[in-house]
Amino acid sequence: MTYAAPRKCSVIIVLPAKIVRSAWQRAPGPRLRLGVAMLLLNFPFGYGCLLLGSMAAAATQNSRWLFLGTAGYALSWLMLAGGTALVGYEAKDTLFKNFRRKWAAWQKLNQRR
């Protein structure tokens, strides 16, 4: 008996990696690259701070670590806002252009079927 899980997992992991890599290679300047990096890192940074802060608070029985974890989570929201501001209209135009091109190719492929 075979399962479809390995193929599904590879699609879940590989496809976003390819999308990020193509967007990273097409980024025209350091401002856009920094914004994309901030957008990609804010999620693991925020939840990582919460996880480490709660683990440290449980280990030391000191609630100060919870406040530090929450401050790190708030900092991740600032990273999200800063990354969005750095990416700006430049990335929006690039993404819409790329999406329109792929949507047109998809429509042409479906018409052939």
> pLDDT tens, 47-70?
999 999 999 999 999 999 999 999
Structure tokens at 9: 């997992």
Section 88-110 average pLDDT: 76
Domain annotation covers residue 53:
yes
| pLDDT band for position 1 (cuts 50, 70, 90) | very low
Q: Is residue 113 part of a domain?
A: no
In order of 12, 86, 87, 99, the CA distances from 65 in angstroms are: 34, 31, 33, 44
pLDDT of residue 113: 61
Q: Who wins on pLDDT, 10 or 86? A: 86
How far is 83 from 90, CA to CA, in rounded Å?
12
For the chain, the domain total comes to: 1
Q: What angle do CA 81, 53, 45 make, to 5 degrees?
A: 30
Q: What domain range is 65 assigned to?
A: 29-88
